Structure 1
Amino acid sequence: MYQQQKGRPSSGNGHFENWGDNSAMADNSQQTDTSTDVDTDDKNQLHGVQHGALVVVDSMEQAKERTGDQKTLRRLAQNREAARKSRLRKKAYVQQLENSRLRLSQLEQELQRARQQGIFIANGLPGDHGHSVAGNGALTFDLEYAHWLEEHQRLIHDMRSAVNCHMGDNELRILVDSVMTHYDEIFRLKSIAAKTDVFHMLSGMWQTPTERCFMWLGGFRSSELLKILGNHLEPLTDQQLMGICNLQQSSQQAEDALSQGMEALQQSLVETLSSANHCPTGSGNVADYMGQMAIAMGKLATLENFLYQADLLRQQTLQQLHRILTTRQAARALLVISDYFSRLRALSSLWQARPRD
């Protein structure tokens, strides 16, 4: 049998080979079935993972959308707030421009009147160039006064803020001293301007028409100013009341003396210019009146002294008032004085801008 089988190797080998193939096929079939099951599970797991990823992506997108909505709302709110602030700034800027325009128009009118007066004086006597210097001096003072007024308003604003926020007396005293020093500066400028054009200073062409209505010898009456302050400085001690009362009386007496001196000067000028003793011929020639003019010129020279005495009285009144009052009372007094003159200027602007039929 062994030999027979050995004699038929191809048949035996074929049987064994077929069996081996069948075994391989069986193994392949099992592997195929197993791999198919594995692929199905992997697909299911992959689908689950993909579905979970989609859910996460959707949640992230929704969160991003909500975050984007919040950012949009916040940005819109910020834009509305920025627009509101921009409108307020624009409104304040327009108001500032309007105030500046009114102030510039007022200053131009004052300068125009000063120029007209300067030109009139310059052309009054042919060949007399000294009078043109007087006109230029008036214009120079007008510009200096405009700068002084701007600085004064800034100082008053700072002091008002200090009073409203209850700043300490030491800091407030510095502001009060600054305002007082600033008043000294305007008196110094007026003294210099009076040497070139005393009539310009006495007429008050550098102030508004309403201020000129209440003017006395180129400025304010100290006694009237003390009356205005009386109702704004309470409570005052008996010593302070006595000091202010005495100051008001002394100011009134000095004002009366200067007023009487000005009236006497005017009467003397009238008598000098109307006298016929110096011109018996009555020809009307200016050369015949030069003697009278020389006398009148000598009398007019005292006008500068009257203006100086009046400004000195105003300056000393403010200084004495400062010594009588406490630091906080002095600050309130300076605020009241500034507000009074500001209202006079505002009244003048309203009067000039009134409708005319």
Structure 2
Amino acid sequence: MINANILKAFGLDPATCEAKKFGSGHINNTFLLTSANGERYILQRINTYVFREPDVIARNQRLAADYLAKHHPDYLFITPIATVDGEELHREGEEYWRMIPFIPGSTSVDQADTPKQAYEAAKQFGKMARFLHGIDLREFRASIPNFHNLTLRYSAFQESIRHAKEDRKAFAAELTEAFLRHSDIAVTFESLKTDPQFTDRLMHHDTKINNVLLDKDTFEGICVCDLDTLMPGKIISDLGDMMRTYLSPVSEEERDFSQIAVRDEYFEALMRGYLSEVGGTLTETEKAHLFYAGKFMIYMQGIRFLTDYLNGDVYYPVKYPEHNYDRAKNQLTLLQRLIEKEPALQQVIDACLRQPA
């Protein structure tokens, strides 16, 4: 049941407005609202444990919306609906709420079931990156500081190894050593992050396929959604997260590691979709590290899972004692599958870069 004051804050009548739980997201509480006249909206309570400063989210989105309205006025960029007091967020006690338009005719999927879906989603993320290329980043702040800072994540991983309880350290010894053998991925990030040719951009940072709205009939891309993590970052964040979550037929929860694979046709589809939009804006350094994006993101997520296992499962919710261990092993397997195919997949990237935008 939603507090009536929240609905009133957005100009809705609680007596005639219907609210239903909506979507598959795990961070914010999301509801589909239907007003008396049939208009629909998305209402969300922002998770302030994850997003400690909701006003930063609102400000980042407003800055991006204003830039896009000026430079790309026809682009569909979902922005919050103001309260009756003209605010983009409503505070109710310690809770922060926002309302955004519901896009009619749209749907979302939780996993890429066809190469076309991967292509359409990647194309939408690429289009947003292209349209936001050149925006002044100085006024933007991180909604989650150090979210994709592999240097920090690797340091936390090393710390967890030093302080883990002996039983967990012993159980995970082989997996820990396997991740340490890939530490060159963290070393590469350390050198890249200060390279002036590895430019900062306004990135989405959470490019799972369910953060793109698709046409419910044709599955063609409509727009990007869920913009909470829109903040300055590197191209490898968005591209890497797509590679991590689109390429395998199974998710990070899969315990039958034999099912983990890198599907070539999905790799080609997402690269073609993404680079057809953003490719013309890339520096030579960025182009040289497009394949690295997948290694970067998969490795970072893998060591985050293993770090949490070694620390006693203090961050990610678990359903059984080895849950985070299995998630980490899943990601290591995906990383190995990706690296095995590097020569062939790099040829795909090269071909996509040669295509005219």
Asked whether the two chains share a fold, i.e. TM above 0.5, the reply is no
**Superposition TM-score, scaled by structure 1 size:** 0.29
Q: Bigger radius of gyration, 1 or 2?
A: 1
**Superposition TM-score, scaled by structure 2 size:** 0.29
